[in-house]
Structure 1
Amino acid sequence: MSKTEVLFFWITVGSYIGATLFYIAWFARGKVFAEKTEKVIIWAGFLANTVVVVTRSVTSGHLPVRTLYELNITVAWLAVGVYLAARRIYSHTGPVGLISVPFAFLVMGWGYADNPAIEPLTAAYKSNWLVVHVLFALLSTACYVFAAGTSILYLIKNSCKEETPDRFRFLPELSRLDRISVQLVLVGFMAGTVMLLSGSIWAKLLWGSYWSWDPVETWSLLSWLVYGIYLHLHFTFGWKGKKLAWLCLGCLLTNIISFWAVGIVTPDTYHNLDLITRPVD
């Protein structure tokens, strides 16, 4: 890691932690306070995160898709980016940062603890289809994290049996939280579709077949299908509210398994990309 990358990495993590403390205070006080300060902190973290991603790309000579550290700094950047974009589109969704922002600095810390060293690209990674595949996979994950955040806020506010306590009045209305979650899942599902299609083409170039039921492929397909069921139940059968919120959280679990857990549990079958030496493109 270069000195610039290290400096801005810790600025990012510190800013995200600081912003998280603001979100915790929002819930503790039952109202939004010092919002301008919070916005400065979260934007400072996002811009520093951008510098980390760009610096890593320039230093390594490739997009940050090679190692767990590179994937995690990118998904953190996208998760906060989706949060900031959605926050501008949907009013009163700032508290979703209590989910999205801690997710960002935790995965960044995990990647740093794993191995932040730069590793050269092997032949399997030198493919434009890989770039499309990984970036859309990260984008879909970022959207699903925000959708899960809105679902958690829905369940918190819905847990009030009678009158909404003052501490939760600053949260969006239940119907609005429900709608936001569905819309973010829809965007994530479309990104996930591009991820699967580009990944299949990449697999064809690598192994000669579009699909081989590798654990990563299988769990990616399962996660995509589960989110498809989520959307189908909502748009066709009218599912909404509490049961849809719980389903959204369950769907996120399948995405986490496909994106991270499979590689940890079955490292020997994780595509074995480093063993492939022939050109891909």
Structure 2
Amino acid sequence: MGTFGQGIFLYDKWGKLVQKLDKKTGLTTNIITGLLTDGNQVYMGSNLGLIRADLPDLKNVKVFKESEGMFSWECRQGGLKKLPDGSMMIATTNGPYIYYPHNDKATQLASGILSIAGLRYGERNDKQFLFAAAQDASLKLPQEIEYKDNFVTINLSGVSQRNPDGILYHYQLTGFDSGWVTTRNPEIRFSNLNPGNYQFTAYLSIGTYQSRPLSLSFDIDRPLSGKLWFQVLLILFLSALCWLLLTIGNRIYQKYIQARMVNKLETEIAHKQELTARSIFICPAQLQRTERSTAQ
């Protein structure tokens, strides 16, 4: 709760006073004209400009100055409003101002900022791709990773000027991890990834503070046996091979049948020739017996 002369009071859900923030504990003024919470931070409009503190303990108080492109004009009562694009409109006695928290690099470096330094792949991680220091929230690896190189290591880089030792990394690889994984190690390894499309998402946290999430998309190529053109070519090759084997087998079978028929014909001809020869060469004794039997 902001007050007009006593700073800001923080109460729990039971109405008990938890924390008080005033000039003695970090504010430049005790006159608060407006409050706006944004994630783990609270923004305070005052008679001396805009002030911000971290929740839930109202620590790390920051007073925005004109040297940072801000102002020291009095904020109107209830003059803080968050816009749909994440920016903040601030009504002052000198007119409206627009503040873009996601573009405030100095603030992010103080609290904590995450970037993806690079990606290495291959069984020995000897191939790599480096990313620019200034990054969008969504990155895409420009080329596919071959299936034989499906060992992937993603290097994160977290910076916090306030508490560098308190950085925790949270990540999830869609299609591989079933949930979020938390670690202090900025080097994230994945091995034996199946072919397909993957999206790696990560953010860092320090206490109650969370950075904006980053995502990296990459593709693992299919092995040769899994590619459509290879499968079609293999089917055509096997079909041609089957046709060739059937053709050769059919010709061999036809030759076998022809050989059997020739052998059969030759056997029949030889048998007939033998019978003919027997009928021509009859011995005289047989002829005399035949004549006697006829005369009787």
TM-score (norm 1): 0.21
TM-score (norm 2): 0.21
* Higher radius of gyration, 1 or 2: 2
Please identify which structure carries the higher strand content.
2
Please identify which structure carries the higher helix content.
1
Q: RCO (CA 8 Å, sep 6+): is it higher in 1 or 2?
A: 1
